[in-house]
Structure 1
Amino acid sequence: MNNPTSDLKNYYEVLEIPANARSEEIYHSYQRAKAAYSSDSIALYSLMSPEECRNVLEMVEEAYSILSDPTKRKRYDEARGLNRDFSSLSYNSLSDRVAPLRIEREVMPTHQVSSASSVLPSADFTLNSQSTGSDSASSTATNVNKLVTQKRFALDYVINADFEKEIEEATEFTGDFLRKIREYKNLDLDRLSDMTKVSRLYLQGIEMEDFGKLPAPVYVRGFVFQYAKCLKLKPEVVANSYVARMKKLKP
């Protein structure tokens, strides 16, 4: 039979609170997390897919259901060896340090997890290894995040000095110009959609300037911002230019 206490999820990390947090801190952190990952959060609209947000919200709900109940929280703390003595409480246990990695693996889309599997520590290895210090674990987590990010957003193309100069000096970014930059940087729409978390249909609408099929300018600005960011352009300049053009041309 599975032991529920063997789960590596750290509910305190999920809610971003210390292990000795009071009940009101738990509640306020829970509310903040729900608001941050809700489906109508504009900040996450083009950064995370609805499924990813749902996964995080499920963890938030699970964490709150345990930590908000004194009896369940006590059993949880005892199983993890937490809160035995608040004066000596620390986050130096190995399972606590790898919790952010564990959470990231659960939230990541499947293809991202597989691409990072060679550098992410397995659960068995993590639990049976000796701690080498918080600095080492922190460095490992940082390196893993960098590797995953670099692989996901890497661009592989042959530099054209003349076109690079044209891009650098550009003050107006039309849909057609953005398409040319994307194709020059050897990036197809499917991969760009994965990188930006913006649907392929909207990306096509942006490039074709099919404004009738695009949402409100506030959302389009976010989409173009992410588009430009992934192409290593100046996202503020590109987004402002595109939205200004959209408002001028849209019927």
Structure 2
Amino acid sequence: MRTTRCGSTSAPCATPRSPRWPTRSARCDSLPAVAGKEAPEGGPRIIAVASGKGGTGKSLVAANVGIFLATLGRRVVVVDAAFGSANLHQFVGVPRPHHTLAQLLANASVPVDQVIVDTGIPSLGLLAAEGDPATAANPKSAQVNKLIARLRQIDADVVVLDLAGGTAGTTLDLFLVADAGVVVVVPEPPAVELGYRLMRAAFVRRLRKVGIGAAADFPADELRMYEGGIPSPIDIRDRARDLDEGLADRVDAEMRRFRPRLVVNMARSKADMALCGDLARAVQRRFGVPVDPLGYLEYDDAVSVSVRRRRPLLVEHPESRVARCLEKVARRLVGRDTAELPALPASPETYYDLLGVDPGATEEEIRRANRRVREVYGRDSLVVGALYNKSRLDDLHVKLDEAYETLMDPTSRKAYDQALFPGGVPQAARREDSDNALAAVDRAAPAEPAPPPRPSPPPLAPDTEFTGALLREVREAMGIDLRAIAERTKIGMAYLEAIEEENVRKLPATVYVRGFLVQIARMLQLDEERVVDTYLARFRRARAATQPG
């Protein structure tokens, strides 16, 4: 990278972008445009990368999506719009940018192209914010509006915005003006729940921008009824329908236009890899808006190594696992078309919609779908936190019970199908995975081998004594692998095996075993108190027998 002196210092500073930057006439038009709403004629496509909190890796995603698109021949500018907490320059390998975003905010006459610095990566420029004054952390609304207009004037194919974490008005405004808004989460409750909050807040902000914010003006005492204190899009629409049918129709139209993308970062387990699709389906069901799952990024030490060296990940470790994941995410982001998203479930959902199966599904497919949906919408699931309160989750479980019981009973299913499909059950072929965004993400996770035939469930009574062998029988009858319990409960495999084998020498103190049993009973849908009492009675007798004297 070419450098120059900054003021009186001798530290290297990035210069304005070099002649290597191609002119607009030289842009590569053979690549797909970023899917989403149309940008103004001649303007760049804008991708905004956001998160509900810091520490999710949104800067990593923003920087490397920009780098990857640049390697495809696109002219890209990455913009550090995390006002007051700028760090994007380090992810693209620029140590001390000479020009920053504050120059645009302070002086409307400064040409935007003059403050874009060269990153040393062909076709990639940086609009940095490092070293901006403290006042830049809270730009005024007028400044943000002018900045948005200036971003549309950048002479590039794609502009990638790295937004600040959270739901500040500036963040929401920039997220909403983007042609594609990406929400980054990690497989942890705070990140997922605040990601939901970001999507709720962005939709409310959207309604205010288009002049129908009154639909989201709920009384303060009523807001406490909703998860996170912000009603979901479907809550807003349903309430508006009780007040003004025309207003509800306008809210419904905005729901169909609001299309957040989703990325799960730092995926360590198979469950983490499937989380992106699970979250997307759950949000679509609860919010009533289309969500595009772009995929997951595997946890990889290459990230921390490249960050410490202040080098771009895709440049420093192009063959790493996380680099390959980033490339998949970037390709999906630029290759998606709105038509590829599956249709939102009808309201009310059919039993087939609830379980996520086709009307022609076999009994075994329905069983598998039921196990999967029970896991996703379990009370301790990462997916349901701040998405469903207890009452709504109870209602959903009742519907799932009804759906499963009806579809597994041949007589009930036949009567249901006749009422639902008077002209006969549709036999349309399923769409290919390549045409289905959600299936594409699910396919990205490692495929599971077909499970062996399951044994019949053991008989259980109120006075049943739960032994390790009986717990194993119940688990196997439900088709649950021991490793799945370990991933969900975070109990070590060695302890789970020792519980089923009743190997007391390998088990910890009684207080820990009690906690393990409670979690196992919940996952196996057993009476927690009965499991704990009967198993611990055997455990104490066996442990006493092993004590000397």
TM range (shorter): 0.3 to 0.5
Higher radius of gyration, 1 or 2: 2
**Greater helix proportion:** 1
Larger relative contact order (CA 8 Å, sep ≥ 6): 1
**Greater strand proportion:** 2
TM-score (norm 1): 0.46
TM-score (norm 2): 0.24
